[in-house]
A and B are shown apart, each in its own frame.
Chain A
Amino acid sequence: MATTSVKQLPKTEMILPGTRSCAGCGLMLTYRHALKALDEGKTIVAVPASCMTVLHGVYPITPVKVVCINNPFAATGAAASGIVAGLKATGKSDYTVVAFAGDGGTYDIGIQALSGALERGVNFIYICYDNEGYMNTGTQRSSASPMGAVTSTTPILAKLQHKKDMIRIVEAHDLPYIATGSPAFPFDLFDKVKYAKDVLGSRYIEVHAPCPPGWGFPNKDLVKIGKLAVESGIHVLFEIREGRFSLTSQSLVMAKKGRKKNVSDYIKGQTRFKRISGDHLAQLQEFTDRKWNESLERHFRDNP
């Protein structure tokens, strides 16, 4: 049953107020709703060096009521595998292990450990919150940054390459469940994490988490930017259950009613795109259109 009303969401908060995250943080909103979908006391989180470690606080206090293990940047997949093995050895079968890493810890630095864990079919959920750069260390470029984005390591020409298609890399491991989400669509995100919890094997969820200081938009526009990303087709909401691709939420609505926004609507409110050239904008639009059309084609092929 899909969540359609606020009333259906659990009211208990797993994150206590007064965290170290920035005001209007997309990761914080993602984490808040993802943890609502998981069982309190029966969840173990593995977190690499990232904004997430910062959120988890400095010893001896943490704002999060979930058991968390901080692991080295490159080792999220390996650390989660170790936790799963430890739980199995001690006969605890009712725990959910969730790895929560950023795009740097997934697309770049953590890809080896992630690929290893997915290949072994480790029974865990891997959630990548994609804020399109190394936001915690000062907005450096990552392979998830979009073309035309100014970062502290691409300050003059802006980024020249397109975003890496991580979903295709992950899909090559034949996972039972792959999904994308956005904190601007919390019901969809909640449902996907809830569904993933009961799937056996490795599950991968990628969340597009807008970052106000890193992307250069006012804190209050977090939800607006998150929605624009989906409405323009930059980020497509879908899930792949045992190879069957289905668009969900707003993307499904757009598949039926058409896409009304384009990339220029999305980049308008963000200062990171201030140096984008006309050529790059056209390329970004073309790239987005191609990905969107591929998604549409796959959706209608798998859901005739």
Chain B
Amino acid sequence: MSENSTPIRTVSTPAEGEAGKTGDWRSQTPKIDHEKCSQKDSCLLCWLYCPDGVISSTFPLEINLTYCKGCGICAEECPRKAIEMVDDK
């Protein structure tokens, strides 16, 4: 078999940040008020509705701001209004 006949594999490998640090897209940043948050496993609506899955499922909640795109769904859906969208300067 000649060297040229080596099969070329075009298989992508999974990795974070495929589109770069998508946190740069944000114009507003979510800020969590941990005192207002119920800190109960039975709520977690922010985690449930985050399209990018960047909110932790453990308490106190943490948002991965490197990749959070700032859509604001978490702030909108939080029943206790514990998340606020703050304008980036």
Contacts and interface: CB of A to CB of B under 8 A. Distances in A.
Contacts of A13: 53
Given A23-B25, A28-B51, A222-B51, A18 B67 contact: yes
A interface majority secondary structure: loop
Contacts of B19: 18-20, 57, 63
A186 B49 contact: yes
B71 A222 contact: yes
Interface residues of A, number: 41
Contacts of A59: 10, 12
Contacts of B75: 220
Nearest to A224: B76
B86 interface: no
A32 B48 CA distance: 10
Interface residues of B, number: 40
Contacts of B67: 17-18
B18 A32 contact: no
Contacts of A172: none
Nearest to A32: B53
B81 interface: no
Contacts of A221: 76
B14 interface: yes
Given A17-B67, A223-B77, A6 B12 contact: no
Interface of A: 5-7, 9, 11, 13, 15-26, 28-29, 32, 56-65, 183, 186, 212, 218-224
Interface of B: 10, 12-22, 25-26, 41-45, 47-54, 57, 64, 66-67, 69-73, 75-77, 85
